[in-house]
């Protein structure tokens, strides 16, 4: 009995929704393949671009222990990018095309990496908030329908656990420090609250979220944001930090957090390359990439290029 | 650039497990990268770094999961021994102990 | 230990530590922007190793002086750092928040400097493995066992640069020409090394490592038809270019001005604070 393409797609989707896990060599609908590549690629680019704000702080880290911790954390991000790039290469997408689309602005990466990072407190807070937010999302990805990605997420989550502790340690130290250190921390919190709230994305219902329909994601954007707020608001306030959203409160009746709705148009503009540091970071990465082209060419012969 | 697959053993007498892959221009650098990517927290006591082309991937379902029953080579094919013992004890075809000698 | 021996040892330890810290920091700048992601992760570990070795040496110096290792690393005046000058030079682009990024991406410079430094560092470590100062001998044995792998990595890239393409080779030769004076600057003694040698704390003075270094480096050069800045005349080597010295007595260039500023800017906000 031979099925039509549409029938095969439907049957595949049902299997996925029943918990089936797909390997690289298997047949998959074009739509699924494209979605998986796009999803993983956005993740890979977020790791690659995520290294850039923090790497500036390796040299500036104020103790030898912190220097090693920051270097090792940034190294992990690059390591994650490597794992994810290999996954999409195995699906037929070349690294050099990933880089081309990154620099042309065609590909998007998470909003939080489009901002400046002006102080040490920014860096510590960023790591604590963004890595913990990512971990909420990534925990579910360990059960993603695309099995190579699910396996990779197990390793990534394990490493992220160290990251958020390292960020938290920096923040705690500042919160328990001098007046100047505490002031630096509060200013950083004022800058990063909105980006972190936007990070989870708008409240797209599960039925409209392709990534959920095809088994890549488990929870909706709003579920993740609510879970993060439940875990972290108390911890943040304990440090004496004032969260710069006067509307933020837990509604006991509705059993959910109320907050100032982020401007989703603004989020879209940022991830499309109009953030406060988008151009600066992309141009920096592009220059570094292009000026080392001769290295890749030497390794591969004149033809191919590699990230 | 050649792709290498990395297998990692984490404890004495443990199995080597596939952890992932990497690209490297040479076997020497592949070994170096394998340690950095898959054991930089000293997770490994042993690594196998294998060119992907050396791996033969077998995925044919009928080949690996043939449809005809093969219980003759599995323990569950021999549960009948439980029923047979029960029969023996209940006396059907049972002789006294030692009856079959010489 | 007499005061003058202690002073000489402390100065020597700071010199070691500063070399490792400075090359570690400059090499850590490749994290996130190396030519290939796999290499990015590997190179970052090499840099972190160096910073770890620096921390070990600052700790040894701290034990002698009663100061904190981080104090020694961060709070000395700019002219009281004793690393070789060539190590402070940046080989990457510097990120500018306004977008006016400066510098050039110099992978051949980074690899060449790293490899030739690792050859030097190996020889220096070998002269410390049997140090009469037990804590130093113990520490350096651990460092030595890690450094072996630095040379593996360096050898693989040395071969790649020397042989894989005309452009790569050109980059290598250009890097060598620019780096030679600074590389020869490794072989400058810290004050008091003769005292340390007579006490058996070091088996060889840094300046005396030049000949063994040339002997060891020679095969890597002749194998790929590259030239050393020295000629062998009978049993002796004659260096044919002027070394760039002064690092061991705190004389540095613009690269150090920039790096010292970056390195200390956060710490200086609260020098005695907890970070």
**CATH number given to B3-54:** 3.10.20.520
List chain C residues with CB under 8 Å of B28.
152, 155-156
Asked if C130 is an interface residue toward chain B (Cβ–Cβ < 8 A), one would say: no
List chain A residues with CB under 8 Å of B22.
82, 86
Look at residue A200 in the predicted model and tell me its pLDDT. 95
What is the number of domains present in chain C? 1
Look at residue A305 in the predicted model and tell me its pLDDT. 45
- Summarised one tens digit per residue, pLDDT across range C228-238 is 999 999 989 99
- Contact between B23 and A306 using a beta-carbon 8 Å cutoff: yes
In order of C119, C124, C160, the CA distances from C227 in angstroms are 16, 23, 17
Cβ distance C81 to C15 under 8 Å? no
Looking at chain B, which subunits does it touch, using at least 3 CB pairs closer than 8 Å as the criterion?
Answer: A, C
Cβ distance C108 to C172 under 8 Å? yes
Whether ipTM tops 0.85, in short, is yes
Cβ-based burial of A301 (10 A; exposed 0-12, middle 13-18, buried ≥19): exposed
Query: Which residue, among C90, C76, C117, has the nearest Cα to C26 in the 3D structure?
Result: C90
Whether residue C38 is contained in a domain is answered as yes
Closest chain A C-alpha to B89 CA, distance in angstroms: 47
Look at residue A161 in the predicted model and tell me its pLDDT. 87
Block mean pLDDT (10 aa), chain A, length 307? 88 95 95 96 96 97 97 97 97 95 94 96 97 91 96 93 93 97 98 97 92 94 96 96 97 97 96 94 97 93 51
Q: Can you give the residue range of the structural domain that contains C125?
A: 3-269
Cβ distance A39 to A216 under 8 Å? yes
- In order along its 275 residues, chain C shows pLDDT tens digits of 899 999 999 999 999 999 999 999 999 999 999 999 999 999 999 999 999 999 999 999 999 998 899 999 999 999 999 999 999 999 999 999 999 999 999 999 999 999 999 999 999 999 999 999 999 999 999 999 999 899 999 999 999 999 999 999 999 999 999 999 999 999 999 999 999 999 999 999 999 999 999 999 999 999 999 999 999 999 899 999 999 999 999 999 999 999 999 999 999 999 999 99
Structure tokens at C183: 């590389």
pLDDT mean over B37-42: 94
Asked if A173 is an interface residue toward chain C (Cβ–Cβ < 8 A), one would say: yes
Segments making up each domain of chain B, as ranges: 3-54
Q: What CATH number does residue A192 fall under?
A: 1.20.1260.10
Look at residue B98 in the predicted model and tell me its pLDDT. 54
Tell me chain C's radius of gyration from C-alpha atoms.
Answer: 19
Whether residue A119 is contained in a domain is answered as yes
Look at residue C148 in the predicted model and tell me its pLDDT. 87
Look at residue C211 in the predicted model and tell me its pLDDT. 97
CA dist C133 and C199 (Å) reads: 9
In order of A53, A228, A275, C116, C139, the CA distances from A113 in angstroms are 7, 19, 9, 37, 40
Q: What CATH number does residue C226 fall under?
A: 1.20.1260.10
Look at residue B96 in the predicted model and tell me its pLDDT. 54
The rounded percent of chain C whose pLDDT value lies above 90 is 97
pLDDT mean over B30-43: 95
3-state class (DSSP) for residue A285: helix
List chain C residues with CB under 8 Å of A79.
41
In order of C17, C61, C131, C134, the CA distances from C137 in angstroms are 15, 14, 5, 5
Whether residue C275 is contained in a domain is answered as no
What is the pTM assigned to this prediction? 0.93
In order of A19, A44, B76, C183, C258, the CA distances from C244 in angstroms are 66, 43, 79, 8, 19
Look at residue A304 in the predicted model and tell me its pLDDT. 46
Burial A270-291 (b: 16+ CB within 10 A, else e): bbebebebbebbbbbbbbbbeb
CA dist A247 and A260 (Å) reads: 6
CA dist C271 and C275 (Å) reads: 9
* Averaged confidence pLDDT in chain C: 97
Cβ distance C143 to C118 under 8 Å? no
List chain C residues with CB under 8 Å of B23.
36, 38
Q: Can you give the residue range of the structural domain that contains A168?
A: 17-300
What is the number of domains present in chain A? 1
């Amino acid at each position: 009995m031979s099925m039509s393409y549409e029938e095969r797609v439907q049957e595949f989707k049902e299997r996925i929704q029943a918990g089936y896990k797909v390997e690289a060599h298997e047949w998959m609908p074009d739509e699924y393949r494209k979605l998986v590549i796009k999803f993983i690629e956005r993740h890979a680019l977020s790791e690659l671009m995520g290294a850039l704000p923090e790497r500036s702080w390796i040299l500036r880290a104020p103790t030898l222990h912190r220097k090693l911790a920051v270097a090792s954390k940034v190294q992990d991000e690059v390591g994650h990018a490597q794992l994810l790039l290999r996954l999409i290469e195995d699906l037929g997408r070349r690294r050099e095309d990933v880089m081309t689309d990154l620099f042309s602005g065609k590909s998007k990466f998470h909003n939080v990496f489009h901002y400046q990072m002006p102080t040490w407190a920014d860096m510590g807070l960023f790591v604590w908030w963004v890595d913990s937010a990512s971990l909420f999302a990534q925990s579910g990805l360990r059960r993603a329908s695309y099995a190579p990605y699910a396996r990779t997420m197990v390793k990534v989550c394990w490493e992220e656990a160290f990251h958020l502790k390292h960020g938290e340690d920096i923040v705690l130290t500042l919160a328990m420090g001098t007046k100047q250190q505490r002031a630096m921390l509060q200013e950083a919190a004022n800058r990063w609250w909105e980006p972190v709230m936007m990070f989870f994305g708008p409240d797209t219902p599960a039925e409209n979220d392709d990534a959920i329909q095809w088994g890549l994601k488990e929870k909706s954007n709003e579920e993740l944001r609510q879970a993060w707020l439940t875990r972290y608001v108390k911890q943040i306030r304990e440090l004496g930090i004032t969260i710069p959203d006067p509307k933020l409160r837990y509604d006991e009746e509705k059993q959910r957090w109320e907050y100032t709705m982020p401007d989703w148009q603004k989020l879209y503009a940022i991830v499309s390359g109009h953030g406060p540091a988008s151009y600066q970071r992309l141009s920096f990465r592009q220059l570094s990439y292009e000026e080392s082209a001769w290295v890749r060419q030497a390794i591969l012969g004149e033809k191919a290029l590699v990230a | 650039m050649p792709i290498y697959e990395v297998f990692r053993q984490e404890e004495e007498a443990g199995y080597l497990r596939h952890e992932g892959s990497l690209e490297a221009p040479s076997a020497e650098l592949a070994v170096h990268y394998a340690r950095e990517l898959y054991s930089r927290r000293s997770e490994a006591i042993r690594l196998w770094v294998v060119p992907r082309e050396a791996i033969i991937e077998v995925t044919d379902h009928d080949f690996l999961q043939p449809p005809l029953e093969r219980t003759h080579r599995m323990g569950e094919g021999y549960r009948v021994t439980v029923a047979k013992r029960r029969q023996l004890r209940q006396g059907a075809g049972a002789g006294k102990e030692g009856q079959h000698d010489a | 230990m007499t005061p003058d021996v202690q002073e000489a040892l402390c100065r020597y330890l700071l010199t070691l530590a500063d070399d490792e810290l400075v090359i570690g920091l400059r090499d850590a700048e490749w994290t996130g922007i190396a030519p290939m992601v796999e290499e990015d992760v590997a190179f970052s570990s090499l840099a972190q190793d160096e910073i770890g070795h620096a921390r070990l040496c600052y700790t040894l110096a701290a034990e002698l002086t009663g100061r904190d290792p981080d104090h020694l690393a961060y709070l000395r005046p700019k002219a009281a750092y004793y690393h070789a000058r060539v190590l402070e030079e940046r080989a990457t682009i510097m990120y500018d928040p306004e977008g006016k990024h400066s510098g050039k991406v110099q992978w051949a410079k980074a690899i060449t400097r790293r490899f030739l430094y690792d050859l030097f560092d190996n020889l220096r470590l070998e002269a410390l493995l049997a140090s009469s100062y037990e804590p130093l001998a113990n520490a350096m044995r651990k460092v030595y066992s890690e450094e072996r792998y630095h040379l593996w990595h360096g050898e693989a890239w040395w071969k790649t640069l020397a042989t894989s393409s005309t452009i790569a080779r050109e980059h290598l030769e250009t890097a060598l020409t620019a780096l030679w004076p600074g590389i020869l600057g490794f072989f400058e003694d810290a004050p008091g090394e003769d005292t340390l040698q007579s006490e058996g704390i070091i088996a060889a003075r840094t300046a005396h490592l030049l000949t063994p270094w040339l002997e060891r480096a020679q095969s890597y050069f002749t194998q790929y038809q590259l030239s050393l800045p020295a000629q062998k005349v009978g049993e002796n080597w004659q260096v044919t270019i002027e070394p760039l010295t002064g690092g061991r007595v705190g004389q540095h260039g613009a690269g150090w001005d920039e790096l010292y500023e970056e390195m200390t800017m956060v710490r200086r906000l609260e020098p005695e604070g907890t970070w």
